[in-house]
């Protein structure tokens, strides 16, 4: 218990000391609170002070702002004043300068006037001087002329006196001649006397002659023999004359037979024309042929696989092998695209083989039909090579026309051949035979004569083809014009359609027949479909125009194939079809060459061209009529 009390006591002591400590601490804290209170009152005082400072500062700011506003306004007034002053100064200066300029202008005018007067005075002086000089020269010339006249008249007098002298001498000579004449007359009298003497001599000679007659009798025998010979010869000449008469009769018979043969020939020519055109009609009035050009081993590689399944028989088929395709199952297939046309020419074919096929159409043009031969295909597929190279269709066709026209002369035909060469570029016509500087400038007009079904191109140069050489001249002019244009619009020939037109007018003087045919040889612009997004500007316009005109050509052929006679054909939708209106359709014969590049890179374009050609191939166009008149 005691221990517990002790422990309690000790705990009480500890609590007491703790309480004492606490009291101490409270005291310390109270003194700190008092300190803090003092600080807070200090802060309140400072705060009040600051508030009053702030108020002061605000009022100061307001005053400063007002002052600033006043200063700004003053400054604005000052600037306005200065501006006004500056404007006034400027006006003063301008006035001053204007006055000075006027003064200077007046001065320069006065100076110019003075100078002009001086010049005029100088000119007057010079004129006077020249007039004086002229007068002196005139006087000098006059005296020279007078002197010359005097000299000439003296010379004339000398010549006259010389002539008189010569006349006198001639008179004297005439007297001498007269005297000589008298002498000759005397001589003549003497000669007459001599003649009389000679006559006497002659009489004696006649006597001698009668004596010689006796001698003549001896010659009679031989004379008779000679006569017998002459008789014999005379009888021979009669035989000859009979033979001659016989020959003459036979010759007349031969002439008659020849005339009959000629007549028969004429009839046969008419029959040939009929049959030829029947054959052409049976073949159809629109024909399509395909030509695949060879690869150039120096510059081209990777050719496409192109097959010609019937090249040993008909040569009408072509198959293009596409690229290998792998299916989802992993099997590889090769697409092949087969086409057939009236004729397919492989890469080994030559221009002469191609021409053999078209020569019959050229003949039809001479017989009075309108014929149109096109080359269609992408750039570089061989259109120009086939159509207008040195041994291409244009030179060959014209050569055939000359040869044939010459042959037909025997049958009474006389042909006039006239050529035009025009281009359709960006839906405008250009004359390839005109001056190169007129290209894209000179306007050509197309005139159609619906009654005659013929077309004339106004303002275009027409060349009379009176010799085969003229064709090469024409080709050269056209080439030159296009190469000039090429520098302006890059590879012009690929971007324009060129149309070579031959008008063939034949008249038969024997039968009175007349035929008018036209042969159009057309090298179309490259058919490749450029993506519009990849071209722009002038090139885009070209491309749009090419695409438009080629698709219009397709539309026209399509309309001709599907519409009845007299149905609407949209010739007017493009310049090309408008120009060829009477050479496309019922009244004409059309041949389209689709040209194909052999390269793999061009495969897609080749397929597009072949597709277009197939559409044309499947078109049937009505029977052609020839433009022949009798009268
Ligand atoms: N049958 C062929 N035999 C040999 N070479 C050919 C044949 N066809 C075309 N070529 C050659 O191929 C190239 C392209 O031919 P070409 O210029 O005729 O093409 P194009 O279709 O007329 O082109 P563009 O539209 O540019 O005028 C030329 O170098 C030409 O000589």
Q: Average pLDDT in the 213-227 region? A: 58
End-to-end CA distance of the chain: 174
Which residues on neighbouring strands pair with residue 337, listed in sequence order? 320
Across-strand partners of 499? 422, 522
In 3D, which of 395, 442, 465, 424 has the Cα closest to residue 580?
424
Greater confidence, 28 or 173? 28
Q: What is the mean pLDDT of residues 44-50?
A: 90
Residue 517: strand, helix, or coil? strand
- Among candidate residues 368, 361, 398, 359, the one with its CA nearest the CA of residue 506: 368
| φ/ψ of residue 134, rounded to 5 | -60, -45
606 lines ligand 1 (CB under 6 A): no
Nearest CA to ligand 1 atom 10: 382
Give pLDDT, residue 624: 46
Q: Find the mean pLDDT for residues 469-482.
A: 84
CATH classification of 284-630 is 3.40.850.10, yes or no? yes
| Radius of gyration, alpha carbons of the chain | 61
pTM over 0.90: no
pLDDT, residue 631, reads 35
For ligand 1, whether the C-beta of 379 sits within 6 Å is yes
User: Percentage of residues in the chain with pLDDT exceeding 70?
Assistant: 81
Band (630; pLDDT cuts 50, 70, 90): very low
For the ranges 263-277, 434-448, 534-548, the lowest mean pLDDT is seen at 263-277
Q: How many CB atoms lie within 10 A of CB 404?
A: 18
Give the full edge-to-edge strand order of the sheet including 317-326.
Answer: 306-307, 317-326, 332-340
Structure tokens of 166?
A: 């010569």
Q: How many A from CA of 597 to the centre of ligand 1? A: 9
Ligand 1 pocket, residue 493 CB under 6 Å: yes
pLDDT tens digit sequence for 416-468: 999 999 999 888 999 999 988 887 777 899 999 888 888 999 999 999 988 87
Q: What angle do CA 465, 279, 554 make, to 5 degrees?
A: 70
How many CA within 13 A on the CB side of residue 26? 6
Looking up tokens 């219009």 gives 552
Confidence of residue 121 (pLDDT cuts 50, 70, 90): confident
DSSP 465-500: --STHHHHHHHHHHHHHHHHHHHHHSSHHHHSEEEE
* SS3 category, 293: coil
Maximum separation of any 2 CA atoms in the chain, in Å: 247
Judge contact between 446 and 579, C-beta under 8 A. Answer: yes
Q: Is the Cα dihedral 274, 276, 277, 278 positive or negative?
A: positive
CA 610/CA 462 separation, integer angstroms: 35
3-class secondary-structure state, position 140: helix
What is the model's pLDDT at position 393?
93
Q: Flag whether pLDDT at 533 surpasses 90.
A: no
Tell me the CA–centroid distance for residue 379 and ligand 1, in Å.
8
Q: Determine contact, residues 296/595, Cβ cutoff 8 Å.
A: no
Q: Distance from the CA of 313 to the center of ligand 1, in angstroms?
A: 27
Does position 348 have pLDDT exceeding 90, yes or no?
yes
Percent of the chain exceeding pLDDT 90 equals: 25
Q: Find out whether the beta carbon of 293 lies less than 6 Å from any atom of ligand 1.
A: yes
Tell which residue, 311, 307, 301, 316, has the closest CA to residue 334: 307
User: pLDDT (tens digit, 9 = 90+) per residue, 156-180?
Assistant: 787 777 767 777 776 677 676 667 6
| Mean pLDDT (whole number) for 141-152 | 80
* pLDDT of 182 higher than 80: no
pLDDT value at position 564?
Answer: 63
Cα distance between residue 601 and residue 605, in whole Å: 9
381 within ligand 1 shell (Cβ under 6 A) = yes
- Determine the atom of ligand 1 nearest the C-alpha atom of 523: 22
DSSP 190: H
377 lines ligand 1 (CB under 6 A): yes
How many A from CA of 290 to the centre of ligand 1?
Answer: 14
Choose the weakest-confidence range: 37-46, 185-194, 302-311, 350-359: 185-194
Q: What is the pLDDT of residue 205?
A: 55
346 is an annotated ligand-binding site residue: no
Ligand 1, atom 14: nearest CA belongs to which residue?
380
Answer with the residue of higher pLDDT: 391 or 585. Answer: 391
Give the pLDDT of residue 254. Answer: 78
ipTM of the complex as predicted: 0.97
The burial class, CB within 10 Å (0-12 / 13-18 / 19+), for 539 is: middle
Structure tokens at 440: 């894209």
pLDDT in tens, 273-291: 666 565 555 555 788 999 9
Q: Give 538's Cβ-side CA count (13 Å radius).
A: 6
Distance CA 374, CA 531 (A): 25
Q: Point out the ligand 1 atom lying closest to the alpha carbon of residue 385.
A: 18
Q: Atom 27 in ligand 1: which residue has the minimum CA distance? A: 494
**Of 215-224, 238-247, 364-373, 517-526, minimum mean pLDDT range:** 215-224
Mutate to test the pocket of ligand 1, among 384, 526, 546 (most ligand atoms within 8 A of CB): 384
One-character DSSP codes across 306-348:
EE-TTTTTT--EEEEEEEEEE-TTS-EEEEEEEEE-SEEE-TT
With a 6 Å cutoff on the Cβ, whether 382 touches ligand 1 is: yes
- Give me the chain's average pLDDT, please: 82
Q: Which residue ranges make up each domain of the chain? A: 228-283, 284-630
């Amino acid at each position: 218990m005691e221990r517990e009390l002790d422990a309690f006591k000790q705990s009480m002591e500890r609590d007491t000391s703790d309480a004492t400590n606490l009291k101490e601490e409270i005291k310390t804290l109270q003194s700190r609170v008092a300190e803090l209170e003092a600080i807070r009152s200090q802060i309140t005082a400072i705060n009040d002070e600051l508030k009053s400072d702030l108020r002061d500062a605000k009022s100061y700011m307001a005053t400063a702002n007002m002052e600033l506003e006043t200063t700004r306004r003053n400054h604005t007034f000052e600037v306005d004043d200065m501006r006004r002053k500056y404007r006034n100064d400027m006006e003063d200066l301008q006035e001053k300068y204007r006055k000075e300029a006027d003064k200077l202008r007046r001065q320069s005018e006065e100076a110019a006037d003075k100078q002009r007067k001086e010049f005029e005075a100088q000119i007057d002086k010079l004129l006077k001087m020249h007039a004086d000089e002229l007068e002196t020269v005139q006087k000098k010339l006059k005296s020279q002329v007078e002197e010359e006249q005097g000299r000439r008249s003296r010379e004339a007098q000398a010549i006259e006196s010389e002539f008189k002298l010569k006349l006198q001498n001639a008179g004297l000579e005439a007297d001498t001649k007269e005297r000589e004449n008298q002498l000759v007359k005397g001589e003549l009298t003497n000669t007459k006397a001599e003649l009389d003497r000679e006559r006497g001599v002659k009489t004696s000679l006649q006597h001698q002659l009668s004596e010689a007659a006796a001698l003549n009798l001896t010659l009679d025998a031989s004379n008779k023999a000679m006569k017998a010979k002459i008789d014999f010869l005379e009888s021979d000449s009669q035989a000859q004359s009979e033979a001659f008469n016989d020959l003459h009769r036979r010759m007349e018979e031969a002439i008659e037979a020849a005339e009959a043969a000629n007549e028969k020939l004429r009839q046969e020519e008419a029959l040939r024309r009929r049959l030829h055109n029947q054959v052409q009609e049976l073949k159809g009035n629109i024909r399509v042929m395909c030509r695949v050009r060879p690869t150039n081993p120096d510059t081209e590689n990777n050719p496409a696989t192109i097959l010609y399944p019937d090249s040993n028989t008909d040569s009408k088929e072509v198959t293009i092998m596409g690229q290998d395709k792998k299916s989802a199952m992993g099997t590889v297939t090769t697409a092949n695209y087969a086409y057939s046309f009236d004729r397919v020419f492989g890469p080994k074919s030559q221009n002469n083989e191609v021409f053999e096929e078209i020569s019959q159409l050229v003949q039809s043009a001479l017989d009075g039909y309108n014929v149109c031969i096109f080359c269609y295909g992408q750039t570089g597929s061989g259109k120009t090579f086939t159509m207008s190279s040195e041994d291409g269709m244009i030179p060959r066709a014209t050569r055939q026309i000359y040869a044939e026209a010459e042959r037909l002369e025997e049958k009474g035909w006389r042909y006039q051949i006239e050529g035009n060469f025009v281009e359709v570029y960006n839906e405008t016509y250009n004359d390839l035979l005109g001056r190169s500087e007129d290209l894209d400038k000179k306007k050509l007009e197309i005139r159609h004569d619906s009654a005659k079904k013929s077309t004339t191109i106004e303002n275009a140069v027409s060349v009379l083809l009176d010799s085969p050489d003229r064709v090469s001249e024409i080709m050269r002019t056209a080439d030159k014009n296009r190469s000039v244009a090429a520098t302006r619009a890059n590879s012009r020939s690929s971007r324009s359609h060129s149309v070579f037109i031959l008008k063939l007018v034949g008249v038969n003087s024997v039968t009175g027949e007349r035929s008018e045919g036209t042969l159009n040889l057309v090298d179309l612009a490259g058919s490749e479909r450029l993506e519009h997004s990849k071209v722009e500007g002038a090139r885009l316009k070209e491309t749009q125009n090419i695409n438009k005109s080629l698709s219009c050509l397709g539309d026209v052929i399509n309309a001709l194939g599907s519409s009845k006679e007299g149905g609407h054909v949209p010739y007017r939708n493009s310049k090309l079809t408008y120009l060829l209106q009477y050479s496309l359709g019922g009244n004409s014969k059309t041949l389209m060459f689709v040209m194909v590049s052999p390269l793999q890179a061009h495969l897609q374009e080749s397929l597009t061209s072949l597709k277009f050609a197939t559409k044309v191939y499947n078109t049937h166009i009505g029977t052609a009529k020839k433009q022949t008149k009798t009268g």
